[in-house]
């Protein structure tokens, strides 16, 4: 294999490393989900089943990849933040993008029936993925603010649009015409005066999207962690239990029920624009994509590659006499990373629907942007 006359083709495989020392922002987005939501009869303006399924898939991805510290989801998209210091798959872009997108998609399909009982999938859904690198924490905060502002703009538009259609007797064309040129305050007024809807009392999940963040497991909760060591195992078991029970942890009542007014005000001032006409399918807003990571840390790559015997001419011509199997020494790199992993603190994933545009969320969780965090 290695020395065959065909082996030169391998030289065409070019490395695609991502710049070290930068935050990786991986975003994935549903492919043609307008059609997908129509075929599967998603409720308008929001289908909570579809959103919960997205959250579930995102949580599965975060449980598999400890270097993802934060995620934000709305409609058919999810953004994942990987810590600045991550060495996941040696920061190979294609490997990360393809593996993360694949895991998210398979989880979405795997759990479909739990959220849509009686509605079998009509065809396989797919997601695209991409990675964008950001050098600073400010840019990361602005990125997530951008996505949450998008959530607000789309949801306010869609909520008003479908109220006009479903309760106001307007056609979709008429509803678009009614909303053309309106500002946030105008839509809020239409909702309240014509339909008795106080927008700020609508489920925070719809108004603010889903925020999944990694946090340390308090020591009293860390069952199975007997020496302060980490554990992927502990984290995974807890995640599995949560997944089975369908549990969604909320960090605190205050956060979950937090008012959106501040966010709305900010957005109203800075981002007043109409979504595209296709956005009446509220569950599927803007087109976006994401990159995806792979499964484990760089060390897993090492294990995998060393586990695969490379056939050489020598091996074929003069096979070695049978010897008792010897454990292969781990490459230095791998040993080093194992030690690093042992220092990791056990973590869990929490899901909230709160403001992430202002400072509070970030000030209360400084570890999210801290590259030295061992969680």
Question: Which residues would be at the binding site for Mg ion (CB under 5 A)?
Answer: 29, 76-77
User: How far is residue 31's CA from residue 37's CA, in Å, rounded to a whole number?
Assistant: 11
Instruction: Please report how close the Cβ of residue 253 comes to Mg ion at its closest, in angstroms.
Output: 30
CB of 132 to Mg ion, least distance (A): 16
Q: How far apart (Å, rounded) are the C-alpha atoms in residues 349 and 55?
A: 11
Which one, 131 or 301, has the nearer CB to Mg ion?
131
Q: Which is nearer to Mg ion, 225 or 271 (CB)?
A: 271
Distance CA 261, CA 202 (A): 12
Whose Cβ is closer to Mg ion: residue 29's or residue 350's? Answer: 29
Please state the closest distance from residue 151 (CB atom) to Mg ion, in A: 11
DSSP 199: G
> Which C-beta is closer to Mg ion: that of 33 or that of 89?
33
C-alpha separations of 239 from 27, 59, 67, 227, 246 in Å: 22, 8, 15, 21, 10
Give the 3-state secondary structure of residue 188: helix
- How far is residue 249's CA from residue 296's CA, in Å, rounded to a whole number? 25
Cβ of residue 143: shortest distance to Mg ion, in angstroms? 16
CB of 214 to Mg ion, least distance (A): 24
Choice between 104 and 367, CB closer to Mg ion:
104
Pick between residue 151 and residue 264 the one whose CB is nearest to Mg ion: 151
Give the number of other CB atoms < 10 A from CB of residue 295. Answer: 18
- For the residues of 308-366, what is the DSSP string, one character each? S----HHHHHSPPPP----PPPPPHHHHHHHHHHHTPPPEEEEEE----SSSHHHHH-G
Q: Which is nearer to Mg ion, 78 or 373 (CB)?
A: 78
In angstroms, what is the minimal distance from the CB of 77 to Mg ion?
A: 4
Q: Report how far residue 252's alpha carbon sits from residue 363's, in angstroms, rounded to the nearest whole number.
A: 15
Nearest-approach distance from CB 61 to Mg ion, in angstroms: 17
Of 358, 69, 30, the closest CA to residue 212 belongs to 69
How far apart are CB 33 and Mg ion at their closest, in Å?
6
Give 285 or 294: the residue with its C-beta nearer to Mg ion.
Answer: 285
Q: Which is nearer to Mg ion, 231 or 283 (CB)?
A: 283
Contact between 208 and 353 under an 8 Å Cβ cutoff? The reply is yes
Q: How far, in Å, CA of 154 to CA of 77, rounded?
A: 13
Name the minimum Å distance from CB 51 to Mg ion.
13
127, 30 Cβ separation under 8 angstroms: yes
Tell me 254's DSSP state: H
**150 or 248: CB nearest Mg ion:** 150
The stretches of the chain forming alpha helices (DSSP H) are: 33-39, 48-64, 93-110, 112-115, 137-166, 172-179, 184-195, 204-208, 232-245, 253-256, 261-270, 298-307, 313-317, 332-342, 360-364
Q: Reading across the β-sheet that carries 77-82, which strands appear in turn?
A: 127-134, 23-30, 77-82, 68-74, 210-216, 347-352
CA atoms within 13 A on the CB side of 209: 29
CB 76, min distance to Mg ion, A: 4
């Amino acid at each position: 294999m290695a020395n065959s006359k065909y082996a030169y083709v391998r030289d065409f495989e070019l490395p695609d490393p991502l710049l070290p020392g930068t935050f990786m922002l991986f975003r994935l987005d549903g492919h043609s989900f307008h059609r997908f939501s129509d075929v599967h009869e998603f409720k308008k303006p929001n289908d909570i089943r579809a959103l919960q399924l997205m959250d579930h898939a995102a949580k599965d991805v975060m449980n598999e990849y400890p270097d993802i510290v934060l995620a934000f989801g709305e409609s058919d998209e999810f953004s994942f933040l990987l810590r600045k210091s991550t060495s996941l798959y040696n920061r190979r872009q294609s490997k990360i993008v393809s593996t993360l997108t694949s895991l998210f998609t398979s989880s979405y399909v795997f759990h479909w029936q739990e959220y849509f009982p009686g509605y079998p999938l009509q065809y396989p859904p797919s997601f695209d993925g991409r990675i964008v690198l950001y050098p600073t924490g400010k840019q990361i905060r602005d990125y997530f603010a951008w996505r949450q502002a998008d959530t607000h703009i789309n949801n306010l538009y869609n909520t008003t649009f479908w109220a006009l259609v479903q309760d106001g007797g307007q056609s979709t064309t008429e509803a678009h015409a009614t909303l053309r040129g309106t500002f946030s305050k105008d839509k809020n007024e239409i909702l309240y005066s014509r339909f008795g809807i106080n927008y700020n009392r609508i489920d925070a999940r719809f108004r603010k999207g889903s925020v999944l963040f990694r946090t340390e497991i308090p020591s009293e909760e860390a069952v199975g962690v007997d020496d302060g060591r980490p554990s992927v195992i502990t984290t995974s078991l807890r995640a599995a239990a949560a997944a089975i029970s369908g549990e969604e942890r909320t960090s605190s009542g205050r956060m979950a029920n937090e008012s959106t007014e501040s966010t709305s005000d900010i957005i109203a001032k800075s981002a007043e624009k109409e979504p595209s006409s296709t956005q009446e399918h509220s569950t599927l807003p803007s087109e976006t994509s994401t990159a995806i990571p792979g499964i484990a840390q760089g060390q897993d790559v090492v294990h995998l590659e060393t586990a695969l015997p490379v056939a050489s001419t020598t091996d074929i011509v003069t096979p070695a006499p049978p010897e008792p199997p010897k454990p292969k020494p781990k490459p230095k790199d791998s040993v080093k990373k194992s030690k690093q992993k042992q220092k990791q603190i056990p973590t869990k994933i929490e899901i909230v629907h709160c403001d992430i545009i202002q400072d509070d969320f970030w000030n209360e969780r400084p570890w999210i942007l801290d590259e030295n965090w061992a969680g």
